[in-house]
C-alpha cells in the first residue's frame, strides 16, 4: 500500500517535456535584453509564472487527462524550484519557507493573469504584468509591460489552437519572444 505513493505517474514523459518547453521559453534572451525583465532568479520566476499560467490554463480546458497533467506540471515546477534553490546554496531550513513564498506569489499571479485573460482585457493584463514582472504601479507599469502583454496574448492564442494531441506528443507552441514587436 505505501509503495503506491512512490509510483510514477503515467504522465511523466509529458510532464517532463512540457516543463522543458516552459524552461526553454523562459530562457529566451529577448525577455531580458529586449523586454527588460530583470535577469535574476526573481525575474525569471516572474516569466516562469506567466508561462506556467498560460499552459496550465490551456490544459485545464482540455479533456482528461489534461487537467490532471496541469496539476502534475505545477507540482513539477515547484519541485524544480526547490532543487534550484538548493543548488544555489539556500539552506535546507530556508527552502520550504521560500517555496511557500513563491507558491503564494505564483497563485496570486495566476489569479491576476487569469482574470485579465478571461475578461479579454489587454490593459488589465498589462497592469498585472507591470506590477508583477516590473514592480511598477500606476501608468508606468502597463506602459513598460505592453510588449509582454502582447506576447502573453499571442502565446494564449497559439496555445488555444493546439489540440490535446499537441500537448500529449508534441511541444507547447510558445511563440518566439523576438516575434512580438
Digit-coded pLDDT (tens) for 72-93? 999 999 898 888 888 888 887 8
Residue 5 maps to a domain: no
pLDDT, one tens digit per residue, over 94-137 is: 888 888 998 999 999 999 999 999 999 999 999 999 999 999 98
Residue 178 maps to a domain: no
Residue 181 maps to a domain: no
C-alpha 94/C-alpha 14 separation (Å) is: 31
C-alpha 142/C-alpha 130 separation (Å) is: 5
- The residue assigned the cell 517535456 is 17
Is the pTM here over 0.85, yes or no?
yes
C-alpha 122/C-alpha 149 separation (Å) is: 7
Q: Angle at the Cα of 148 (from 144 to 154), degrees rounded to 5?
A: 150
Residue 140 maps to a domain: yes
Structural domain range at position 125: 11-170
Amino acid at each position: 500500500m505505501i509503495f503506491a505513493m512512490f509510483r510514477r505517474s503515467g504522465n511523466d514523459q509529458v510532464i517532463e517535456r512540457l516543463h522543458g518547453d516552459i524552461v526553454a521559453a523562459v530562457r529566451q534572451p529577448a525577455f531580458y535584453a529586449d523586454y527588460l525583465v530583470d535577469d535574476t532568479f526573481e525575474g525569471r520566476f516572474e516569466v516562469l509564472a506567466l508561462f506556467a499560467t498560460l499552459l496550465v490554463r490551456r490544459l485545464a480546458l482540455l479533456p482528461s487527462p489534461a487537467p490532471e497533467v496541469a496539476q502534475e506540471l505545477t507540482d513539477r515546477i515547484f519541485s524544480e524550484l526547490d532543487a534550484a534553490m538548493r543548488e544555489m546554496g539556500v539552506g535546507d531550513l530556508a527552502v520550504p519557507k521560500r517555496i511557500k513564498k513563491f507558491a503564494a506569489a505564483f497563485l496570486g499571479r495566476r489569479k491576476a493573469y487569469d482574470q485579465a485573460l478571461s475578461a479579454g482585457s489587454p490593459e488589465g493584463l498589462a497592469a498585472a504584468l507591470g506590477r508583477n514582472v516590473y514592480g511598477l504601479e500606476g501608468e508606468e507599469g502597463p506602459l513598460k509591460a505592453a510588449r509582454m502583454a502582447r506576447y502573453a496574448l499571442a502565446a494564449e492564442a497559439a496555445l488555444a489552437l493546439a489540440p490535446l494531441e499537441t500537448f500529449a506528443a508534441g511541444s507547447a507552441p510558445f511563440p518566439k519572444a523576438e516575434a512580438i514587436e
